[in-house]
Structure 1
Amino acid sequence: MAELTTLARPYARAAFEYARDNSALDAWAEQLTLLAAVSEHETLQKVFASPAHKAEQQVAVLVEVCQGLSEAVVNFLSVLAENKRLALLPEIADLFTTFKANFERSVEVEVISAFELEDETTRRLSEALGRKLERSVNVRSTTDSSLLGGVLIRAGDLVIDGSVRGRLNKLAAAMNL
């Protein structure tokens, strides 16, 4: 996985810098996310891997499936296809999203709780995380009854486990020492 990220990083950086310089970050992010999702389909992966399909044909298939792509994105796809890197689209999209979030000083936060959180609680949590992370926070809330109580917060590589299940697991680990 690290190798794919290493290969994808220069392409993602180039796409990000182009989109930033042309004030098109949101449009590029949207199109790359769509392309990443479509490129993971089994049929398209076979097209990318097949030597029978030339780079132009691979790009044409993607353009046909993902109608409405900008000319700049189609040119970007052509470069990827020429270098046999279309399979990296999911990693490129992830890296692009990370670069965009860092540029905009925002972060996506996933809050998993045992029960549905009230809007006021979510708002206060968002404000507290925003102060701690020094970023604008976009909270996505889900429920998981296996947590028993409390919350599990994921913001990038930061994980805050305040769940009852997490505490019980720590207690069990400490007792086994």
Structure 2
Amino acid sequence: MTIGAKVHSPASFNYAQALLRVAQRQGRDLSAMAEQANVLQEACRAERAKLRRFLEGPHIPTENKLDLIQKACAGKVDPLLCDLLKLLVARGRSRLMLDILDIFIDMVSSSKGIHYGRVETAAPLDEDQRDRLRATLEAFTHARLRIEYGVDPYLLGGVVFQYKDQLVDGSVRGKLNELRKRLDATHLS
């Protein structure tokens, strides 16, 4: 299990920030753009990332990549997003695409007062448990949250919560590891 703060490259942050600023200046629908960015992310991650491998492939001519982007975006994706993708491909920076889209989505959500968090539990939670946990975490963070849920049986029980650069490990496994470290630090004679 890997839970920790996401580390974004400065270049990715700059591209995402520029996209947000231009979109705001032009009065674009940021919510719609964030949804489209999310769909693009899913498409790049789906089917074993065939689309991403195509766009990042050094052996594929840039013109072919640009044609694919133009056809895929036509009428479905905001032209600013499409232009960003074409710019990244033209500059040989398509490997930053997922990171940029991720940052952009986070920026749009943050501007609306919605923040992302991630919860890992040992077993799946039903809808009622998710709602109660979300309410508790929103009170804890003083923020509206959109939570991504994951299951990791190695936690044994409890919850691990990631929010921004904070990690709260309330799992049984985490408590056992903490206890083991304290016992290792104690020199018994």
TM-score, normalization by structure 1? 0.78
Q: Which amino acid aligns with 1:159?
A: L
| 2:85 alignment partner AA | L
Q: 2: distance between equivalents of 1:154 and 1:105?
A: 17
Q: 1:39, 1:89 within 8 Å by CA — same for their partners in 2?
A: no
- Of all paired residues, the percent bearing the same amino acid is 23
Match for residue 131 of structure 2 among 123, 137, 156: 123
Equivalent residues of 1:33, 1:90 under 8 A apart:
no
Picking from 85, 94, 97, the partner of 1:86 is 94
Is it true that 1:174 corresponds to 2:182 in the alignment?
Answer: yes
**Separation of aligned partners in 1, 2:113 and 2:176:** 35
The amino acid that maps onto 1:30 is E
Q: Which runs of 5+ in 2 are unaligned?
A: 1-5
Distance across 2 between alignment mates of 1:162 and 1:89: 33
Q: Does 1:74 align with 2:78?
A: no
Pair 114,82 (structure 1): closer, same or farther in 2 beyond 3 Å: closer
Using CA pairs under 8 Å that are at least 6 residues apart, name the structure with larger relative contact order, 1 or 2.
Answer: 2
Equivalent of 2:13 in 9, 32, 40: 9
Deviation at 1:52, TM superposition (A): 6.3
Unaligned runs of 5+ in 1: none
Matched residue count: 175
Hey, what does 2:143 align to over in structure 1? 135
> Who is 1:64 aligned against?
71
Match of 1:26 in 2: 31
CA distance in 2, matches of 1:51, 1:115: 44
| Matching residue within 153, 159, 165 for 1:157 | 165
Shift of 1:169: 0.5
CA distance in 2, matches of 1:122, 1:39: 28
Are 2:59 and 1:45 equivalent residues in the alignment? Answer: no
Aligned alpha-carbon RMSD (Å): 2.9
Kindly provide the CA deviation profile for residues 1-58 of structure 1, in whole angstroms up to 9, marking residues without a partner as x.
Answer: 96x711222211111223334242222223333434545635653554537623x432
Tell me the alpha carbon deviations over residues 75-132 of structure 1, each in whole angstroms, 9 at most, x when there is no partner. Answer: 2233323333222101111211221222122122222223444544433332232233
What TM-score do the two structures reach when normalised by structure 2?
Answer: 0.74
- Aligned with 1:13: secondary structure? helix
